[in-house]
């Protein structure tokens, strides 16, 4: 078992023939990911990386049965790409693109609400189920197969955590990079819930950052769920100065519990094993798994 | 991108939002001319001189003053322009004032009492929708209102598929206790304010105060406007509104070479790929007994040119006693980064602070060898904790 993506996922790449799309699709295929084609409007009918190119996502769904997409479309067109994927019936929409205008994401998030699909990201490293599918931009070799799930807002910090877990002789079921934008499709709580409910995952690593309520929501859900599956948590940004990126009004909506200290306190109160040092994530996982 | 009050008001006005009118001035003479013009156009007798800096609480620092005649306009403008304005939102040193807004006096006496409200438009991150937040308690620090009288803060969330509906604008006007002409004016004000927010791709509007004048007009007396940087490609005309004098000079320079840098007060500089790992590295520096001197994300392409640019930027800060480079090589190979560090080091001649380089991930072993055999005064590490220990050792020397 694993969550979101596995060896049976039929994956397409939106923005397939662009430089980012080409580079990462190549890496994904080399990893052994089941890439069944790609979409670049106007280039339908061509072959790229030995895979068919389609004009629309709908064609890719109809002709090769695509159920998962990874989006590398430039920011100005990315929200449109998300909505096209949802409209075509894609189930898992992983959006790597960084820098999508917030106004566009408000529309895209509203559009996909109530549809049978799940958005991961945007501005995220993607999702990897080691040995089965790498649907993202992460270095595949860092992630060895195992029984620890990872949920993180950050790319390189996910790699760091996976590396530490692997060096403890353990491995990863699925690592989910949820992204760091103000509006993201899958929240920390939803990603944690997926992994807690995954029978193969025996421990979850939850990595957050300052700002927002996502980690607190996940922690409260975990406590209420009564799950005995351990979670190891880390929040980056204890030393980050307050108010550098947020306006006054935003700070009010966020409340006073979005600092690293406040989040860690909530997480600890909900039974999460919180580490203060980012160098201790792997060790702590080993310790709680015994 | 943050805007000055006068720029924000221009944008509001272009979408039909009533504003307190004003003219920006760079010196005392221009201020007097502006005051004369404003009197001719609006009939205002008195003028308000407002410092234009990117920080709130300007009144508390002496940056907003009433002038009752042209001599006072000249004196006050002369005093405010060039001063270092210290407000609760600036650093201890304050911010230098380069220009003032000479504005009409809108608190004139009339048939009814004036009243002040608070209104902002922003994203509710929890729901992924825009909301209008407003309060009867205008002109005050909204954080104080939130703390002391939270029941006086109201919100109205906007459904993105239909936008702001008339009933919502009416509800806002009712909740603010308005009636008659002021009520109608407020519904118009709210509707045009929300249109302006959406059409300008703003990420924050904060209007404090929104004023009901003594003749029942509703207008924005102040405007804090932030435009979504990611949407600027749709608003080429707004790009000129950036005032880099308001931004940290080193941060502006870093941005120009594609580095995401935030200046901090500590003694250990750092250079990291990825924002999350960068924050984690700052935390580790603190736990090792240091204080981070900066946040610096070199992004996905940590080549020699970028590493050199990053070195130069970090070393501009004389407080830096050591530099920690922490790169997790994924797509970017560690040996390339290591070579970049070595090349940058040699190009720059001598760097007089100890450097700890921690490279992990793709080709980390080769990278460590390159660093160790370079003959440079650079310490290498592969594990996160090892890097922290080396920082600690350097600082305790």
A276 contacts in chain B (CB < 8 Å)? 283, 287
The yes-or-no verdict on residue A249 having pLDDT over 50 is no
Residue A256 is predicted with a pLDDT of 62
Query: Tell me, what's the pLDDT at A1?
Result: 59
Q: Give mean pLDDT, residues A159-165.
A: 96
Element (H, E) at B227: strand B224-227
pLDDT at A2: 77
Q: What is the mean pLDDT of chain A?
A: 93
> Across A204-208, B89-93, B304-308, which has the greatest mean pLDDT?
A204-208
pLDDT at B204: 94
Report the range of poorest mean pLDDT among A19-28, B111-120, B256-265. B256-265
Residues of A in contact with B130 (CB under 8 A): 106
Check residues B336 and B181 and name the one with the higher pLDDT.
B181
Cα-Cα-Cα-Cα dihedral sign, residues B47, B49, B52, B53: negative
Q: Is the pLDDT of residue B75 over 80?
A: yes
Q: How far is residue A201's CA from residue B317's CA, in Å, rounded to a whole number? A: 46
pLDDT higher than threshold 90 for residue B330: no
pLDDT band at B144 (very low <50, low <70, confident <90, very high): confident
B382 touches chain A (CB under 8 A): no
8 A C-beta contact, residue A156 and residue B277: yes
Q: How many CB atoms lie within 10 A of CB B177?
A: 12
CA-wise closest residue to B355 among B306, B314, B384: B314
Distance from CA of A107 to the nearest CA of B (A): 6
Tell me the pLDDT band of A59, cut-offs 50, 70 and 90. Answer: very high
Q: How many residues does chain A have?
A: 290
Mutate to test the interface with B, among A123, A134, A239 (most CBs of B within 10 A): A239
What digits encode the pLDDT tens for the residues B227-272?
999 999 999 999 999 999 998 888 889 888 888 898 888 999 999 9
Contact status, residue A281 vs residue A275, Cβ threshold 8 Å: yes
Residue B330, annotated ligand binder? yes
B116 is in an annotated binding site: yes
Measure CB to CB from residue B122 to each of A138, A183, A249 and give the nearest one. Answer: A249
Question: Average pLDDT for residues B312-330, to the nearest whole number?
Answer: 91
- Quick one: which of A190, A72, A187 has its CA closest to A123? A72
- Average pLDDT of A195-204? 97
pLDDT at A251 over 50: no
Tens digit of each residue's pLDDT (9 = 90 or more) over B340-365? 888 888 888 878 899 999 999 888 88
Contact: A253, B233; criterion CB under 8 Å: no
Mean pLDDT of B385-394: 92
Cβ contact, residue pair B272, A139, below 8 Å: no
Identify whether the C-beta of residue B130 lies closer than 8 Å to the C-beta of residue B158.
yes
**Proportion of chain A above pLDDT 90, given as a percent:** 86
Q: If residue B203 lies in a helix (H) or strand (E), which one and from where to where? A: strand B202-212
Higher-pLDDT residue of B74, A246: B74
| Residue among B82, B86, B81 nearest B62 (CA) | B86
pLDDT band (50, 70, 90) for residue A252 = very low
Q: For residue A73, is pLDDT > 90?
A: yes
ipTM of this model? 0.90
Enumerate residues 6+ apart whose C-beta is below 8 A from B67: B35, B46, B47, B48, B49, B73, B75, B76, B77
Model confidence, pTM: 0.93
- Put simply, the chain B residues between 64 and 123 with a CB less than 8 A from any chain A CB are 120, 122-123
Local confidence band at A242 (pLDDT 50, 70, 90 cut-offs)? low
Contact between B162 and B142 under an 8 Å Cβ cutoff? The reply is no
Mean pLDDT value of segment B142-150: 87
Task: List the single residue in B201, B287, B328 with the smallest CB-CB distance to A156.
Answer: B328
pLDDT at A248: 39
Helix (H) or strand (E) holding A196: helix A188-196
pLDDT at A243: 58
How far separated are the first and last CA of chain B, in Å rounded? Answer: 42
Chain mean pLDDT for chain B: 93
Annotation says A248 is catalytic: yes
B287 in A contact zone (CB under 8 Å): yes
Segment A109-125 shows an average pLDDT of: 95
Angle subtended at Cα A217 by Cα A286 and Cα B163, rounded to the nearest 5 degrees: 145
Q: Is pLDDT of B312 > 80?
A: yes
Report the share of chain B in percent with pLDDT over 70.
99
User: B274: distance to nearest CA of chain A, Å?
Assistant: 6
Q: Is B122 in Cβ contact with A250 (below 8 Å)? A: yes
Yes or no, beta carbons of B143 and A278 under 8 Å apart: no
Longest Cα pair distance anywhere in chain B, in angstroms? Answer: 84
Q: Is it the case that residue A246 has pLDDT exceeding 60?
A: no
Q: What is the pLDDT of residue A250?
A: 44
């Amino acid at each position: 078992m694993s969550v979101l993506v596995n060896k049976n996922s039929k994956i397409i790449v939106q923005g397939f023939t662009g430089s980012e799309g080409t580079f990462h699709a190549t890496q994904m295929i080399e990893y052994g990911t089941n890439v069944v084609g790609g979409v670049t409007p106007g280039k339908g009918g061509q072959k790229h990386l030995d895979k068919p190119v389609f004009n629309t996502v709908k064609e890719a769904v109809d002709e090769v049965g695509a159920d998962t997409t990874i989006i590398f479309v430039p920011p100005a067109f990315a929200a449109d790409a998300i909505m096209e994927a949802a409209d075509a019936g894609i189930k898992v929409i992983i959006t790597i693109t960084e820098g999508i205008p917030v106004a566009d994401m408000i529309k895209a998030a509203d559009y996909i609400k109530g549809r049978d699909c799940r958005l991961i990201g945007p501005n995220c490293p993607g999702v990897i189920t080691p040995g089965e599918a790498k649907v993202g931009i992460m270095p595949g070799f860092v992630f060895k197969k195992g029984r620890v799930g990872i949920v993180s807002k950050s790319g390189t910090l996910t790699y760091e955590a996976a590396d530490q877990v692997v060096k403890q002789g353990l491995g990863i079921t699925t690592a989910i990079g949820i992204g760091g934008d103000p509006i993201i499709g899958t929240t920390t709580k939803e990603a944690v819930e997926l992994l807690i409910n995954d029978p193969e995952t025996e421990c979850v690593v939850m990595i957050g950052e300052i700002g927002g309520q996502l980690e607190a929501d996940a922690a409260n859900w975990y406590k209420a769920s009564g799950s005995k599956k351990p979670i190891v948590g880390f929040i980056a940004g204890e030393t980050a100065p307050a108010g550098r990126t947020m306006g006054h009004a935003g700070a009010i909506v966020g409340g006073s519990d979005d600092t690293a200290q406040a989040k860690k306190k909530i997480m600890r109160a909900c039974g999460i094993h919180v580490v203060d040092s980012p160098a201790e994530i792997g060790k702590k996982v080993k310790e709680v798994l015994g | 991108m943050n805007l000055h009050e006068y720029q924000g008001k221009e944008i509001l006005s272009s979408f039909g939002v009533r504003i307190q009118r004003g003219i920006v001035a760079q010196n005392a003479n221009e201020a007097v001319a502006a005051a004369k013009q404003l009197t001719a156009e609006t009939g205002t007798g008195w003028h308000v001189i407002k410092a234009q800096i990117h920080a709130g609480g300007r009144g508390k620092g002496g940056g907003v003053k009433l002038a009752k005649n042209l001599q006072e306009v000249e004196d006050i403008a002369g005093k405010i322009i060039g001063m270092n304005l210290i407000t609760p939102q600036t650093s201890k040193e304050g911010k230098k004032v380069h220009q003032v807004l000479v504005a009409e006096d809108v608190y004139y006496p009339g048939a009814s009492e004036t009243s002040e409200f608070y209104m902002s438009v922003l994203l509710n991150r929890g729901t992924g929708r825009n909301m209008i937040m407003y309060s009867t308690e205008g002109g005050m620090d909204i954080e104080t209102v939130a703390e002391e009288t939270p029941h006086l803060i109201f919100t109205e969330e906007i459904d993105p598929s239909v936008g702001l509906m008339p009933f919502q604008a009416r509800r806002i006007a009712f909740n603010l206790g308005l009636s008659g002409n002021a009520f109608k004016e407020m519904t118009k004000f709210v509707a045009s304010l929300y249109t302006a927010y959406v059409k300008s791709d703003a990420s924050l509007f904060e209007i404090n105060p929104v004023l009901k004048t003594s003749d029942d007009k509703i207008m924005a007396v102040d405007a804090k406007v932030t435009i979504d940087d990611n949407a600027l490609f749709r608003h080429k005309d707004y790009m000129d509104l950036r005032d880099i004098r308001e931004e940290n000079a080193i941060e502006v320079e870093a941005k120009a070479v594609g580095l995401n840098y935030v200046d901090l007060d500590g003694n250990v500089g750092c250079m990291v790929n990825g924002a999350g790992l960068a924050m984690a590295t700052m935390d580790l520096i603190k736990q090792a007994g240091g204080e981070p001197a900066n946040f610096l994300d070199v992004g996905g392409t940590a080549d020699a040119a970028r590493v050199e640019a990053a070195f130069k930027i970090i070393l501009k800060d004389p407080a830096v006693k050591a530099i920690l480079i922490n790169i997790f090589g994924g797509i970017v190979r560690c040996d390339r980064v290591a070579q970049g560090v070595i090349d940058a080091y040699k190009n720059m001649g001598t760097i007089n602070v100890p450097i700890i380089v921690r490279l992990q991930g793709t080709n980390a072993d080769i990278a460590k060898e390159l660093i160790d055999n370079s003959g440079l005064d650079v310490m290498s590490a592969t594990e996160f904790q090892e890097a922290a220990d080396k920082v600690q050792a350097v600082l305790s020397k």
